[in-house]
Amino acid sequence: MNFSVNNVKEWLKKTNNLIQENKNYLTKLDQAIGDGDHGINMARGFDEAVNVTDDKQYDTVADILKDIAMTVMSKVGGASGPLYGTAFLRLSLSLKGKTEVGYADLTKALEDGLNGMKQRGRSDAGEKTLVDVWEPVVTFMKKKDAADADGLMEIAKSAVEKTKDIMATKGRGAYFKEKSVGNIDPGAMSSFYLFSALAEVLKGGGE
């Protein structure tokens, strides 16, 4: 497959659609174990990312990913802004100069993104954050040597559910200690939208 600039645009738009549809739900999740703004933050930032990139021409996937990174970083705000921003920036760096992006390249790029977020957030899997979705997804993708959209979807879905059982130790959720258990992490949920949108795109098999 070749994961093209148009695929990235498609991925971003599908992600944004899911976020806009579930804006209030994300905010509800953040009201339970945060400060109730995650839906508002993500909706603001990803809408803007689509506006910025949509009718713009890009030569490489790295270029558009950099624009997305910068927009997300400046428009989402909160904790998730710099984290998602870092992720997209690492994706861009990882794919820099590439004219063709194959499955392995994409997987490696996502792994770089995950590591970037962990460094930035001083966090690891098991702390009830978006890392708990990214990590299993990346591990799954590395096991495969071709895109498995449905499998990816399943993994992401179950990973989000699993965040319920975790007691938060990072982010605002940490203030809720035991009480954070039983709630889905808002950032994990928004990451699920990101990956289910990606799965949709991969179903198309890229260009």
Partner 1 sequence: MTFKRGGKAMKKIINEPTEVVQDMIAGMVLAAPHKIKQIEGTTVLARKDTPVKNKVALISGGGSGHEPAHAGYIGKGMLDAAVLGEVFTSPSVDQVYEGIKAVDSGEGVLLIIKNYTGDVLNFEMAAELAEAEGIQVAQVIVNDDVAVEDSSFTTGRRGIAGTVFVHKISGAKAEMGGTLEEVKTVAEKVVNNVRSMGMAISPCAIPAAGEPSFTLLEDEMEVGIGIHGEPGIERKAITTADEIASELVEKILNDLDIKKNEEVAVMINGLGATPEMELFIINKKVQEILAEQEIKVYQTFVGEYMTALEMGGCSVTLLKLDEELKELLSFPSDAANFLVK
Distance in Å, CB of 175 to ligand ADP, minimum: 10
Residues 71-90 that bind partner 1 (CB under 8 A): 73-83, 85-86
Contact call for residue 176 and partner 1 (CB under 8 A): yes
DSSP letter (8 states) at residue 180: G
Measured distance CA(196)–CA(155) in Å, rounded: 10
Q: Which of 11, 22, 34, 128 binds Mg ion (CB under 5 A)?
A: 34
DSSP letter string, 6-35: HHHHHHHHHHHHHHHHTHHHHHHHHHHHS-
88: CB partners within 8 A, 6+ apart: 65, 66, 68, 69, 72, 113
Distance in Å, CB of 20 to partner 1, minimum: 14
Q: Which of 129, 180, 183, 196 binds ligand ADP (CB under 6 A)?
A: 129
Phi-psi region of 64 (alpha: psi -120 to 50; beta: other; left: phi over 0): alpha
Binding at 82: pick from ligand ADP, Mg ion, partner 1, none (beta carbon under 5-8 Å per type): partner 1
Measured distance CA(87)–CA(44) in Å, rounded: 18
Write out 58-115 in H/E/C secondary structure: CCCHHHHHHHHHHHHHHHCCCCHHHHHHHHHHHHHHHCCCCCCCCHHHHHHHHHHHHH
CB-nearer residue toward ligand ADP: 83 or 201 = 83
Distance in Å, CB of 152 to ligand ADP, minimum: 19
Distance in Å, CB of 149 to ligand ADP, minimum: 24
Contact call for residue 175 and partner 1 (CB under 8 A): yes
Distance in Å, CB of 79 to Mg ion, minimum: 7
CB-nearer residue toward partner 1: 19 or 147 = 19
Contact call for residue 35 and ligand ADP (CB under 6 A): yes
Contact call for residue 121 and ligand ADP (CB under 6 A): yes
Contact call for residue 130 and ligand ADP (CB under 6 A): yes
Sign of the torsion angle spanned by Cα atoms 18, 47, 88, 27: negative
Per-state percent for the chain, helix, strand, coil, to nearest 5: 70, 0, 30
Q: Which of 9, 14, 23, 38 binds Mg ion (CB under 5 A)?
A: 38
Distance in Å, CB of 171 to ligand ADP, minimum: 3
